[in-house]
Amino acid sequence: MPGAGNRRGKEANRYNCEMGTTDVQSLESGVTIRLFRSEDQSIAKALVLEGLVERWGFKDPLKNPDLDDIAASFARGVFRVAVLDGQIVGTGALLPYRGDAAEICRMSVRRGCRRRGIGGAILRALIDDARSAGYRRLILETTSTWEDAIAFYRKHGFRETHIHEGDTYFTLELNPAPPSVV
């Protein structure tokens, strides 16, 4: 069939994400990073919990109360979702920490969609959100055995500050936004 090998429609994107193939171009071009909406609640919660179960092998219902009402839990910050063909495939959040610092948390990308730039797109949006809000420094932490997450944050300019009780802590100094021309 002529042109079948070049198919780049919504069906191709959905297939690639769910099946874990490596069609980077079609995935990156079809992803939208947007703010969380109330109708995203159940899917966003399930996606984050899927990632935790994948990492830990079980789900502790007492450990993630912030996911029970994402809008309320992240009202002082920003919660973003990555959407591909109408499906949420990633999440990330930014919360005030102390003074001029904010914390990045709840970074998660559906397993079949990883390593295609979606996590980086979410992270860049959160960094932009932090700069726009006037934060000068970002912090985050991840489990020290999650080597792929550690490499991801290093790749995006985060610097390790310390390791404590099995978690690796990072920081990223943000350059202030250039002054606006008046």
Cβ(138)–Cβ(102) below 8 Å: yes
Domain hosting residue 51, numbered range: 4-173
| Position 13 in a domain | yes
The amino acid at 65: P
How far apart (Å, rounded) are the C-alpha atoms in residues 113 and 118?
A: 7
Q: What total of structural domains would you count in the chain?
A: 1
Which residue ranges in the chain fall short of pLDDT 50? 1-16, 18-28
Place of tokens 């839990």: 73
Specify the 3-state DSSP secondary structure of 137. strand
At 60 the pLDDT is: 80
Those residues whose C-beta lies under 8 Å from the C-beta of residue 25, and which sit 6 or more positions away, are: 8
| Position 178 in a domain | no
| Position 156 in a domain | yes
| Position 168 in a domain | yes
| Position 42 in a domain | yes
First to last CA, the chain: 58
| Position 115 in a domain | yes
**168 forms bridges with which residues in the sheet?**
142, 163
Backbone dihedral region of 86: left (phi > 0), alpha (psi from -120 to 50 degrees) or beta? left
| Position 99 in a domain | yes
Q: Read off the CATH number of the domain in which 44 is found.
A: 3.40.630.30
How many residues are present in the chain? 182
Alpha helices in the chain (DSSP H): 10-19, 24-30, 41-56, 70-73, 118-132, 147-155
